[in-house]
Amino acid sequence: MAYRHTLRGTVYHFPTLRELLAVATPLRSGDQLAGIAAPTNTARVAAQLALADVPLRRFLTETVIPYEVDDITRLIIDTHDNAAFAPIAHLTVGGFRDWLLATNEDLRTLRSGLTPEMVAAVSKIMRLQDLMSVAARCQVTSAFRNTIGLPGRLSVRLQPNHPTDDLQGIAASTLDGLLLGAGDAVIGVNPATDSPTQTHRLLDMLATVIERYEIPTQSCILAHVTTTLRCIEAGAPVDLVFQSIGGTQATNESFGITLALLAEAQDAALSLNRGTIGRNVMYFETGQGSALSANAHHGVDQQTIEARAYAVARAFPPLLVNSVVGFIGPEYLANGKQITRAGLEDHFCAKLLGLPMGVDVCYTNHADADQDDMDALLTLLGVAGCTYIMGVPGADDVMLSYQSTSFHDALYLRAALRLRPAPEFEAWLDRMNLTGRMSDHLPPNLAPDVIGLT
């Protein structure tokens, strides 16, 4: 159905909910590239006013991508829980914003009653402080060998990438991160070469590091899900299955995945039974713009599609999910301002939908952003209760050629906001005597030669 709003004497028409959502989206280059962004600032606010009046129920009958052509739309509609939706079923999008900001109710019971499009819609009429204060009230925990997402905790993915997957190089970056308190979310390597042989070698190496140093954490090689499946068949020590996911069926096809393939991989990882305290075995990455990049966006704005990717993620209760927010480049998120807003939107939407959401606070050298922008987003995410961030040596990923957050950045954030690592990992840091300042001696248990650094 059509939507309209009159603002200052001009009548604005929006033929569909899909177009209304796109025009209501705060400015970003990807929607401009797609030709679906608001033509003027006033048109954008007119769309936001019209969107605020849309009943949440409408999202259950008017889909942004037809049910018949897209398996994510089918997943969203078929798994919607009307009982969970009941407390907010009478609200409009604007009323939902007010309700979220005023309520003291436990937001967990809402999750299965919310669709990604409802959550994306309300985020479009929220300021950054709204996105942060509501997200901070969403508690999402997950577990494998430690507990991720408890209140007052901030975890770090240790990301020890190396340009040629050199085992000693990866081990050296891993030890560097451990000495600076990183690694409780996961020790996760992006392989330079996505092959079963290479991935198996890296899995063996990280399993050895975790075993010899007796670290209560998990490893992951961020290879394609089919590569990880082959490694599981070959007997490799796979803790977590990684996959990049998107919010449309066609995006996922461009990634070479289906929902059935993800289910098969989850079953395979669960069959290994390698978790000690929990059974969350999936790790997903997302990011605004991937659907447009794959020409698979159906005219839907990039933030709404990003939220739809979270419907995929929550179908396979993951240990970790993060948006790689600034990685995609300036044609999707042009500058620090756009990256900042997108990072907080992604975190908010995922948390409200019940995901253990972290953010790769990052940028590329052709985006108009720098370390100051990253410090600001990092700090805002800390206030918002972000589950984890990345830890890269010196913030410089020498394999992927982009800048993320450093081990030092994580130390800063934990100290500034009095956040602590995951409890099991914190106890390990205490045992290793790593909670204080760096001394001239490494703990004997963490000698480099124990992990092959000689």
The residues of the shown chain that bind another protein, judged by CB under 8 A, are 29, 32-33, 160-164, 166, 168-173, 175-176, 179-180, 192-193, 330-331, 334, 364-366, 370-371, 392-396, 398-399, 401-403, 406, 408, 411-412, 415, 437-442, 448, 453
For the chain, the distance separating the N- and C-terminal CA atoms, rounded to the nearest angstrom, is 68
Nearest CB to another protein, comparing residues 137 and 408:
408
Nearest CB to another protein, comparing residues 112 and 254:
254
Write down the least CB distance from residue 85 to another protein, Å: 39
d(CA 390, CA 372): 17
Nearest CB to another protein, comparing residues 53 and 370:
370
The token pair at 150 is 């408890």
Angle at 327 between CA 115 and CA 380, to 5 degrees: 65
Write down the least CB distance from residue 409 to another protein, Å: 9
d(CA 27, CA 37): 7
Nearest CB to another protein, comparing residues 116 and 326:
326
Say if CB 349 and CB 124 are below 8 A apart: no
Write down the least CB distance from residue 388 to another protein, Å: 17
Nearest CB to another protein, comparing residues 196 and 318:
196
Nearest CB to another protein, comparing residues 115 and 406:
406
Angle at 438 between CA 435 and CA 440, to 5 degrees: 135
12 φ, ψ (degrees, to nearest 5): -105, 130
Write down the least CB distance from residue 182 to another protein, Å: 12
- In 3-state terms, what secondary structure has residue 157? strand
Say if CB 187 and CB 210 are below 8 A apart: yes
Nearest to 52 by CA among 84, 103, 104, 14: 14
Write down the least CB distance from residue 441 to another protein, Å: 7
- The beta strands (E) that lie in 29-177 are given as 142-143, 147-148, 155-158
Nearest CB to another protein, comparing residues 113 and 326:
326
Q: Assign residue 185 a region (left: φ > 0; alpha: ψ between -120 and 50; beta: otherwise).
A: alpha
Write down the least CB distance from residue 296 to another protein, Å: 14
Write down the least CB distance from residue 35 to another protein, Å: 10
